[in-house]
Amino acid sequence: MLCRISPSRGEGSPRIIGAYEPDTGSIQYLVADEGTRKAALIDVVLDFDPRSARVSTASAEWMLRRLDQEGLEPVLILDTHPHADHLMAADWLRERTGAPIAIGEKVRDIAALWRRLYNLPEEQLDPGRHFDRLLADGETLALGDLTIRTMLSPGHTLGSVTYVVGDAAFVHDTFMQPDSGTARADFPGGSAHDLYRSLMAILDLPDDTRLFVGHDYGTEMRQDPAWESTVAEQRAYNIHLRGGVTEAEFVRRREERDATLPLPDRMLAALQINLRGGRLPEPEADGERYLKIPLDRF
C-alpha cells in the first residue's frame, strides 16, 4: 500500500502516516503522539467489491500491522463522517484493538435522513447504539499528551467534522488538494453554502497548519496521489477558492459541477453500514448477511 509520512515538527505536533486505498481514492491516517506512543486511526477503509458484494479487511489489517511496526498503541478510532464511497472499518478495528470509536454527533441527523430512504426502523440505524462517542463541535479528546479538537465542518454531509491535532487538521471531504479544488455537496443533507463556510473556517487556522484530505484522484497534470497541503497553500492555490471567490460564486460553480457527477458506486451499500459504525447487517435465518438497496430514489 502506498504510504507517506509527515514527521512531527516538535512538541505538540503529531507524526502522521497516510495510506492510500486506490479502489476508492481514499486516504487513511495513523496519527501518533511520539512522546507517549499513543495513536489514533482516522477514516480506515473496510474493503468492498461492489460487483461481487464481497467484504474484506486488507486495508484495515495493513493499518494494524503498521501500528505494530511503529510500536504504537491504538487508543482512538475516528471517522470524519459516514462515508458514501467506502465502508468504514471502525467496528472491525474496535473488536481487534479495544479502542473506542467516535464520530460527530450530527450523525444522528444523517441517520434520520437515510432511515427514510432505506425504510428501516430506528433501532436498525441508530448511531447512538453503535458508536462509543458522538462528538459535539469543540469537544476534545486526549491522544497521549496531544489534544484532538472536534470542529463541525458541514457541507459534504450535514454532520461532517474536522479533527485538529496540534499543527495538523484532518479535513475529510471539504478541501481536496489545491489542484483538485473542493468536495461535492449534493448528497442528502449536503449544502454548498455550508461547505463554503466550513472551508473558510478551516482557512482561519494558522497558515502553517498541515491539512490532510480524505480523497485524491490525481489530475491530468499529476498522476501520483497526494493528500497533504497547508492552509497557506490552499488559500493561495485552491482552484475553487483562489482570488477571493465569493460564497455566491462558489455555490454556483459547485452546484453546476455536482449536477454532472454520478453517485459513488458503493454509496447505497455504504451508508446503511457506516451509520452503524461499519458494523455489517446481522445474519438472517440462513446465516447470510444482506443489504437493502432503495430503487429509483436517485
End-to-end CA distance of the chain: 34
Task: Give me the domain span that covers residue 153.
Answer: 3-274
**Cβ-proximal residues to 149 (8 Å cutoff; 6+ apart), any chain:** 138, 139, 140, 163, 164, 165
Task: Give helix then strand counts, H and E, for the chain.
Answer: 8, 16
Provide the domain count of the chain.
1
Q: What is the pLDDT along the chain (298 residues), one digit of tens a residue?
A: 899 999 999 999 999 999 999 999 999 999 999 999 999 999 999 999 999 999 999 999 999 999 999 999 999 999 999 999 999 999 999 999 999 999 999 999 999 999 999 999 988 899 999 999 999 999 999 999 999 999 999 999 999 999 999 999 999 999 999 999 999 999 999 999 999 999 999 999 999 999 999 999 989 889 899 999 999 999 999 999 999 999 999 999 999 999 999 999 999 999 999 999 999 999 999 999 999 999 998 8
- pTM of the entire predicted model: 0.96
SS3 33: strand
Residue 286 lies in a domain: no
Residue 56 lies in a domain: yes
Residue 83 lies in a domain: yes
- The pairs formed by 62-69 with CB atoms below 8 angstroms and a separation of 24 or more are 62/1, 62/19, 63/19, 63/28, 63/30, 63/89, 63/93, 64/93, 64/96, 64/97, 66/3, 66/17, 66/19, 66/30, 67/30, 67/39, 67/41
**Cβ-proximal residues to 267 (8 Å cutoff; 6+ apart), any chain:** 84, 85, 187
Residue 10 lies in a domain: yes
Cα Rg of the chain (Å, integer): 18
Say which amino acid occupies 177: Q
Residue 282 lies in a domain: no
CA–CA separation, 132 vs 106, rounded Å? 14
Contact by Cβ (8 Å): 13, 35: no
What would the grid cell of residue 185 be? 455537496
- CATH number for 94: 3.60.15.10
Residue 99 lies in a domain: yes
Residue whose cell numbers read 475516528: 78
